[in-house]
Chains A and B, each alone.
Chain A
Amino acid sequence: MAARPVVEVRGLWKSFGDKEALRGVDLKLHDGETLVVLGPSGCGKSVLLKHVIGLMEPDRGSIIVEGRDLSGLSQAELNEIRQKFGMVFQGAALFDSMTVGDNVALPLREHRGMKGERLSALVEEKLELVGLKGISSLRPAELSGGMKKRVALARAIALDPDIILYDEPTTGLDPVMAEQINELIRSTQRKLNASSIVVTHDLHSACFTGDMVALMDEGRIAFYGTTDELTTTENEAVRNFIARGHPAATGAPGGSGAGPACADDPFA
């Protein structure tokens, strides 16, 4: 799997006031890979993701996307790089003044200059990819949480991006819907052959969607490895994280001792 890195995070530091959100993060996302950034709430995962797409500026360190350092780029150059990305926000971040169709159509209109029948057909195609054909005329307020995330994904893949970023894709969803979103991430990955970064605190989602996992703890990468290595490592931060969220996986008190969270059956 490991090929050239499409995104490289080098020594990233970021503070808000006296709170250090990122403390020297180093990470690589390789071509075609799904990297899951796992960690408890407030450990700096979303801040890291916003740095990757240039929504935040680091205090120190750099982000290299396909060989180009984001710092020092002009706005036009940054926008050119951003078109390689698609991003699914935690709260979906759909434009509530627009219909679902217009949400998906916006990047196509703005960057491809598409309009008319051709645009409508492509919007429907993208919505069909996420299993939501025929809802173009609805408003985001009329959708459920899971549907909003799917529309956000349809919008994110509108320009056929090389890299897809997911910020807590399953947060706030019921287990059935969360499972559908996990499936969708996997199937989208297969269909588009895009590289992805999934930020989540959901261990099950991490195991199901990820090729590689990085565990963040207090602004640092405490562990980096495959999903299998995640369950077998003796890394203390990993054991603590798994024990807190999935006591069964470590045989910790309160768990059933039924095996690791990332067993062969990802639904275990």
Chain B
Amino acid sequence: MSNGSMEVEGAPAAGVERPSGFFVTLGGAALDFIREAGAGGILFWRGLLSMGRLPRSLPLVFEQMRRIGVESLPLVIITSIFTGAVTAVQAAYQLREFVPEQYIGTAIYKSVTIELGPVLTALVVGCRVSASIAAELGTMRVTEQVDAMEAMAIDPVRYLAMPRIVAGLIMLPIVTVFADALAIGGGFVVSNASLGISPSTFVNGMKMYFFAGDVFGGLIKAFVFGGIITLMGCLAGFRTSGGAVGVGQAATRAVVASCVLILVSDYVLATLLFKIIFG
């Protein structure tokens, strides 16, 4: 009956001793995982169902796009530039003895667009955004603001979760484009200034093996990561209980779940995109 309620259930009753042991712990963890996955699936499905009212929620989506994307840019800029710079140094160190130096440009462009850009951006933005969403919605949950919204016949999933998820899906690819460009720029500067690779050699190396599927594949990954980050933040927030401690735990849970799911789904997507679709 409850609208956006994702109440925590199944907690042991006070005074009831739980049996202990390795398999019991393992079984409990598996059940917790299934419960979380089920709740995440339900939230995602309800988010999809509420998309019909997206036009009405556009101001909320724009506000979340600003918070998720634009406000993450300083962090993304620093991370990306140094990621590109380190990649250049590492690539030069590992490849110089074996391959011509023009392939440094290829290595940087490929590793950044396929893997480092989307994944590192998702991890950096994910930590910041999922914790922030979980803390905000968690505070709303424990202070009965979510209940108040439901009591007003306003669906919290439509009003609170859906704009965040849509904004995440839109902004992560956009931020990843910036991250890719900055990382390649960082690699270019370091290659030129510190490794003695000329600009034309670097650019030629990039052009030689350029494949649009690499960039699109990376952006598809970013799109999925955007959904994961915001969904985990909303899920943890809605399932918060227990006051300030509960809000802290929700933020932690959101960050851990986001990071784990980003890495796991990265493997699945890499296999799907670069072995099957673009392979």
| Residues of A that sit less than 8 Å from B by CB | 17-19, 50, 53-57, 70-71, 73, 75, 78-80, 82-83, 85, 87, 89-91, 93-97, 106-107, 110-111, 155, 165
Contacts and interface: CB of A to CB of B under 8 A. Distances in A.
Contact of A82 (B13, B140, B153): B153
Contacts of B245: none
B147 A79 contact: no
Interface of B: 1-3, 5, 11-14, 16, 136, 140, 143-145, 147-155, 159
Contacts of B3: 75, 78-79
Contacts of B151: 53, 55, 82, 85, 87, 89, 165
19 contacts: A18-B13, A19-B13, A55-B2, A55-B151, A56-B2, A71-B1, A73-B1, A80-B153, A82-B153, A87-B151, A93-B147, A95-B145, A96-B145, A106-B152, A106-B154, A107-B152, A107-B153, A107-B154, A110-B154
Nearest to B2: A55
Interface centre among B11, B147, B151 (most CB of A within 10 A): B151
A55 B152 contact: no
A54 B1 contact: yes
B277 to A, nearest CB: 38
Nearest to A79: B153
Contacts of B1: 54-57, 70-71, 73, 78
Contacts, number: 76
B60 to A, nearest CB: 11
Given A17-B14, A56-B1, A93 B143 contact: yes
A221 to B, nearest CB: 22
A26 B143 CA distance: 29
Nearest to B3: A75
Nearest to A98: B145
Contacts of A155: 152
Nearest to B150: A55
B229 to A, nearest CB: 20
Nearest to B152: A107
Contact of B2 (A54, A91, A93, A95): A54
A85 B11 CA distance: 32
B152 A17 contact: no
B45 to A, nearest CB: 13
A16 to B, nearest CB: 9
A93 B153 contact: no
B21 to A, nearest CB: 23
Given A17-B13, A18-B16, A50-B147, 16 more contacts: A53-B151, A55-B1, A55-B5, A55-B150, A56-B1, A56-B2, A73-B1, A78-B3, A79-B3, A83-B153, A93-B144, A95-B149, A97-B136, A106-B152, A107-B153, A165-B151
